[in-house]
Amino acid sequence: MDSEQLNHLKKRLLEEKERIASKLNSTSDFQLDQPLSESISELSVYDNHPADIATETFEREKDLALFNSTQEVLGKIAEALENIEKGTYGICESCGRQIDSDRLEAMPYTTFCIQCEREEEEEYINRERPVEEEVLEPPFGRTFLDGTDVVGTDGEDTWQKVARYGTSDSPSDLGGADSYDDTFYDAQEDQGIVEKVEGVINHSPEEIPPDPSNPDQRD
């Protein structure tokens, strides 16, 4: 990368840094400098049902997401400016190859080449469980043991017992749920038994059909 292109990209980084700083200043950090109760002129939001302040809560969550996003970009800009001073700007931090000039022109604070960025995004999209679970080993990890030989109570069983008392989901939120009794994971699963044959037959003695092999039950 020649010095002219490097100076051009450094100028763009400084301009972007100034633009974001000005945006944060004009919005008072997206109004996150005051509690939600003050922003909606309420004495408290603790005892209110979430639906009572649903719009305000959504807006606060959106402001927080925007604030975090801008802080992340500012961090990347600071890192890029530091790399310029070190002479390592434009080098992919994953593979060590030179980042394409067109990509730097579009996103001057990027630290990954297009190939490494795609691989990282694909890994994130294809992840079935949250990344935090990799460090939450037992006893804090998930213990859904369906499909294993373990027959003891696991995390799924515990959740089902708690969820029977009610969750924030409604039947319309979950496919296949006909009532509120079905609005939790594996609600139709038999509880307290390992095999179906171990279930207790819910019949009165008069309703139980006679056993032909038992002489005492023959007519």
Q: Tens digits of per-residue pLDDT, 123-140?
A: 766 666 667 777 776 666
Does residue 105 surpass a pLDDT of 70? yes
Select the highest-mean-pLDDT range: 42-51, 77-86, 133-142, 199-208. Answer: 77-86
Does residue 181 surpass a pLDDT of 80? no
Does residue 14 surpass a pLDDT of 90? yes
Token pair in block for residue 92: 């992919």
Q: Judge contact between 41 and 102, C-beta under 8 A.
A: no
Looking at domain 3-127, its CATH class is mainly alpha
What does the chain look like in DSSP terms, one character per residue?
Answer: --HHHHHHHHHHHHHHHHHHHHHHHHTHHHHTTS-HHHHTT-S-SSSS-GGGGHHHHHHHHHHHHHHHHHHHHHHHHHHHHHHHHHT-TTB-TTT-PBPPHHHHHH-TT--S-HHHHHHHHHHHHT-SS-GGGGT--TTSS----TTSS--S--HHHHHHHHHTT--S--GGGSTT--SGGG-STTTTSPSS-SSGGGSPP---GGGSPP-TT-GGG--
Looking at residue 82, what is its pLDDT? 92
Boundaries of every domain in the chain: 3-127, 136-190
Looking at residue 45, what is its pLDDT? 64
Q: Give the confidence band of 27 by pLDDT, cuts at 50, 70, 90.
A: confident
Q: Tens digits of per-residue pLDDT, 28-38?
A: 777 777 776 66
